[in-house]
């Protein structure tokens, strides 16, 4: 199923935005603001749609925990058969705590410490994605010390350019820190055989994030399949190919990735090569399923500008200021009588870069009004911080007319924990 078949989450009913049949006004009243709200049924529907698109091939969906590591979401994804793509000791812990079986977990990242490699091997995870010759040596040494064979795939830097909205989310070109250069990959698999303590399971790539066209994936896949064939001829037999994540969603009117169209390109190629497929979607599964509710505190005129000052800003959602990310903003309660004005929607943080939107046309709100910032289920709470002594917000799941707290709002005790 492609984009647009599921009706969008958080519809407006009787002038009020709802999630999972709960008026968002009620969620804000019960749990306070700023507040993250997730429509968990939407996440389930998206996950099923993603898996269905690729059903023609032996598939593991390894959800990318970095997008949103809330345990309740992870448990639901596990129940749908998902594994996890983790990138630190903390994410490995979260995935295991949510009940995701170790054999469905892969571990990516350019800077894995010896401790992290040891933890991953002791857990018995599916594969470690090795990103450099140095990491391969380190992994072999840890594996020999533990007396195990470390399952690994090499993350290849295919030097494929993918159009992403910001250079920070492009990872597949030679100019980035990620992966092993394409031309050095085969030699590294052969080196692994010589080192011992290592068991190759597949080959891996991740070319970037918020990509909406299939073409760069197809290019990367074809480059990897050439390597798989060449390695097979050398006696290095790889059983799976991991295409990473990065499948884009609709933030505005532009369409997100059509996963059916992507699958039509990918599935026959992978099946033809007799390989198993791993995919690591994060944003595509959870992005549109989240809104951030924030309450307007002041409306301030300053020269030609109008600032709508909210109780949420870059400490809750850093995407607008860090990547110039666009997020649609709507009043939770429709104000048809309000005049539409061009405003900056900003937070309370002491930075000029603290904004949720700039030069945005919005029905001019009043202090006390609620705004909903859309498409924040991925890289929203996950990138929230305590900067300016801010307490990270609560997270709520809405489902079947009920809103359930799934992470308590931080308190000042959280702010001083471990501090002397
Ligand atoms: N696999 C690997 C190895 C990754 O590095 C990532 C994301 C994913 C999978 C999942 O990508 P997704 O399907 O969610 O696009 N903070 C940025 C995005 C950073 C993505 C980092 N890696 C943002 O807010 O746009």
**Gap from CA of 282 to ligand 1 centroid (Å):** 7
pLDDT of residue 163: 86
The yes-or-no verdict on residue 74 having pLDDT over 50 is yes
User: What pLDDT shows up at residue 165?
Assistant: 84
What whole-number distance in Å separates Cα of residue 259 and Cα of residue 245? 12
Cβ–ligand 1 contact at 85 (below 6 Å):
yes
41-72: burial string, b at 16+ Cβ within 10 Å, e else? bbbbbbbebbbebbeebebbbbbbbbbbbbeb
Give every CB contact of residue 10 below 8 A, 6+ residues apart in sequence: 17, 18, 19, 24, 39, 291, 372, 374
* Helix 71-79 vs helix 89-97: crossing angle, to nearest 10: 60
Ligand 1 centroid from CA 64, angstroms:
7
The reported pLDDT for the residue numbered 1 is 40
Asked whether the whole model's pTM tops 0.95, one would answer yes
Distance between CA atoms of 232 and 310, rounded to whole angstroms?
58
Active site amino acids: 350
Is the CB of 67 inside a 6 Å radius of any atom of ligand 1?
A: yes
For the CA of 244, the nearest atom of ligand 1? 1
Is the Cβ atom of 378 under 6 angstroms away from ligand 1?
yes
> Does residue 377 have its Cβ closer than 6 Å to ligand 1?
no
Residue 115: what pLDDT?
A: 98
- At 36, give phi and psi (nearest 5°): -90, 130
**Among residues 390, 287, 411, which one has the least CA distance to residue 347?**
390
Burial 2-32 (b: 16+ CB within 10 A, else e): bbeeeeebbeeeeebbbbbebbbeebbeebe
d(CA 390, CA 82) in angstroms, rounded, equals 33
Average pLDDT over residues 87-97: 98
* Ligand 1 closest atom vs CA 109: 3
- Ligand 1 atom nearest the C-alpha of 166 is 25
Q: Across all residues in the chain, what is the average pLDDT?
A: 96
Mean pLDDT of 257-271: 98
Measured in Å, residue 13 CA sits from the centre of ligand 1 at 33
CB atoms within 10 A of CB 368: 8
Rounded to the nearest angstrom, the distance between the alpha carbon of 154 and the centre of ligand 1 is 18
pLDDT tens track for 152-172? 999 999 999 988 888 888 888
- Whether 323 lines ligand 1, by a CB cut-off of 6 Å, is yes
311: pLDDT strictly greater than 50: yes
Is residue 206 predicted with pLDDT exceeding 70?
Answer: yes
For residue 206 and ligand 1, the question of a CB distance below 6 A is answered with yes
**239 has a pLDDT exceeding 60:** yes
How sure is the predictor about 5, in pLDDT bands with cuts at 50, 70 and 90?
low
**pLDDT above 60 for 2:** no
- What backbone phi and psi angles, to 5 degrees, belong to 194? -70, -35
CA of 383, closest atom in ligand 1: 16
What percentage of the chain reaches a pLDDT higher than 90? 94
Rounded to an integer, the average pLDDT of 180-205 is 96
């Amino acid at each position: 199923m492609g984009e647009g078949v599921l009706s969008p989450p958080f519809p407006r009913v009787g002038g009020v935005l709802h999630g999972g049949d709960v008026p968002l006004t009620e969620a804000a009243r019960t749990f306070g603001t700023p507040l993250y709200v997730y429509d968990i049924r939407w996440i389930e529907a998206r996950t099923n749609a993603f898996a269905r698109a690729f059903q023609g091939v032996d598939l593991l969906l390894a959800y990318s925990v970095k997008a949103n590591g809330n345990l309740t979401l992870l448990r639901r994804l596990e129940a749908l058969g998902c594994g996890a793509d983790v990138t630190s000791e903390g994410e490995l812990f979260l995935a295991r705590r949510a009940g995701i079986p170790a054999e469905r977990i892969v571990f990516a990242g350019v800077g894995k410490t010896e401790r992290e490699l040891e933890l991953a091997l002791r857990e018995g995870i599916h594969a470690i994605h090795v990103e450099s010759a140095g990491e391969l040596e380190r992994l072999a040494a840890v594996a020999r010390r533990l007396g195990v064979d470390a399952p690994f795939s090499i993350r290849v830097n295919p030097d494929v350019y993918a159009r992403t909205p910001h250079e920070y989310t492009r990872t597949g070109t030679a100019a980035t820190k990620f992966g092993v250069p394409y031309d050095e990959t085969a030699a590294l698999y052969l080196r692994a055989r010589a080192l011992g303590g290592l068991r190759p399971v597949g080959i891996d790539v991740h070319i970037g994030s918020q990509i909406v066209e299939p073409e760069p994936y197809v290019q990367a896949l074809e480059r990897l399949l050439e390597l798989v064939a060449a390695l097979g001829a050398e006696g290095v037999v790889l059983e799976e190919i991991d295409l990473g994540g990065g499948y884009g969603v609709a933030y505005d009117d532009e369409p997100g990735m059509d996963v059916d169209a992507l699958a039509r390109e990918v599935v026959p190629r992978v099946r033809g090569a007799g390989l198993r497929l791993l995919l690591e979607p994060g944003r595509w599964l959870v992005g549109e399923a989240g809104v951030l509710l924030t309450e307007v505190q002041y409306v301030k005129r300053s020269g030609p500008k109008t600032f709508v000052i909210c109780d949420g800003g870059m400490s809750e959602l850093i995407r607008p200021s860090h990547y110039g990310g666009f997020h649609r903003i709507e009043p939770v309660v429709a104000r048809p009588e309000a005049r539409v004005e061009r405003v900056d929607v900003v937070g309370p943080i002491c930075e000029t870069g603290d904004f949720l939107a700039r030069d945005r046309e919005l029905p001019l709100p009043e202090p006390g009004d609620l705004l909903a910032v859309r498409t924040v289920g991925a890289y929203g709470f996950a990138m929230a911080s305590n900067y300016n002594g801010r307490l990270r917000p609560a997270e709520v799941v809405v489902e079947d007319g009920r809103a359930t707290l799934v992470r308590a709002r931080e308190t000042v005790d959280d702010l001083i924990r471990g501090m002397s």
